[in-house]
Amino acid sequence: MDKQLARRYNEAKGGTTMPKIDAQLGIRLTKDLKARLTAQAKSEMKSVSTLVVQLVEEYLESQGDGKKD
């Protein structure tokens, strides 16, 4: 599926597109966790990076520790 079609699909499902990023974070995961994360991103037609950003934002908001701009 091309990126434009995937973006429209995600937006139609209430998803978001990846915001412009100006910082990077490297993390180490177990092979199992990486595989699960990759599978989930694929099922949502998102990149792993987009899914991780979304998950981190949701977690921080649920903890009262951070706001979406």
Question: What's the pLDDT score for residue 69?
Answer: 56
Question: What's the pLDDT score for residue 15?
Answer: 62
Question: What's the pLDDT score for residue 5?
Answer: 65
Phi, psi of 6 (to 5 degrees): -60, -40
Closest alpha carbon to 15 in 54, 57, 63: 54
Contacts of residue 55, defined as CB under 8 A and 6 or more positions apart, other chains included, come to: none
Rg (CA), the chain: 13
Residue 38's identity, in one-letter code, is T
Question: What's the pLDDT score for residue 46?
Answer: 93
Question: What's the pLDDT score for residue 68?
Answer: 61
Q: What are the CA-CA distances from residue 4 to residues 7, 13, 49, 69 (Å)? A: 5, 14, 17, 24
Q: Which residues of the chain fall short of a pLDDT of 70?
A: 1-21, 66-69
| Tens digit of each residue's pLDDT (9 = 90 or more) over 24-43 | 999 999 999 999 999 999 99
